[in-house]
């Protein structure tokens, strides 16, 4: 399990849900609706590391994003333990 820094975390459509926005490699924003349990107390999004290529990390999000992606490339700088 890894965590990703988020651009924002806001309340979702129901109390147990949060909406997180993360920046992916390339600068685009991915939005994903997740369980509130997938957000750490310091507003980081829990995810799973799939692999690395150079400074990029392929991660699997806890849910499908608004753009339909489960796996996205992010910069290693946004990845934490």
Partner 1 sequence: MVLTDREIQSAIENGQIKIEPVPADPAAYSSTSLDLTLSKFLRVWKTTTVTGVDQIVCPATKGYSFHEFSQAYSDPREIGTEGYVLEPGSFVLGWTEETLELPKHARLAARVEGKSSLARLGIGIHITAPTIHAGFKGPIQLEFCNHGKLRVKVVSGMPVCQLIFEQTLGTPEMGYRGQFFGQTKS
Q: Which residues bind partner 1 (CB under 8 A)?
A: 10, 12-17, 19, 21, 28-29, 31, 33-38, 48-53, 58, 60, 62-63, 66-68
- From residue 77, give the alpha-carbon distance in Å to each of 13, 30, 57, 65, 66: 30, 16, 9, 21, 23
CB closer to partner 1, 11 vs 42: 11
**Measured from the CB of residue 30, what is the shortest distance to partner 1 in angstroms?**
10
Instruction: Please tell me the distance from the alpha carbon of residue 14 to that of residue 9, in angstroms, as a whole number.
Output: 14
Residue 67 vs 77, nearer CB to partner 1: 67
Task: Report in angstroms how near the CB of residue 44 gets to partner 1 at its nearest.
Answer: 16
Cα 25 from Cα 64, distance rounded (Å): 17
Q: Which is nearer to partner 1, 21 or 43 (CB)?
A: 21
10, 18 Cβ separation under 8 angstroms: yes
């Amino acid at each position: 399990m890894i965590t990703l820094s988020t651009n924002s975390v806001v309340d979702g459509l129901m109390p147990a849900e949060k909406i997180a926005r993360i920046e992916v490699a390339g600068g685009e924003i991915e939005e994903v609706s997740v369980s509130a349990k997938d957000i750490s107390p310091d507003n980081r999004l829990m995810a799973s590391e799939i692999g690395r290529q150079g400074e990029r990390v392929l991660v699997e999000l806890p849910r499908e994003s608004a753009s339909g992606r489960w796996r996205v490339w992010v910069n290693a700088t946004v990845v934490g333990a």
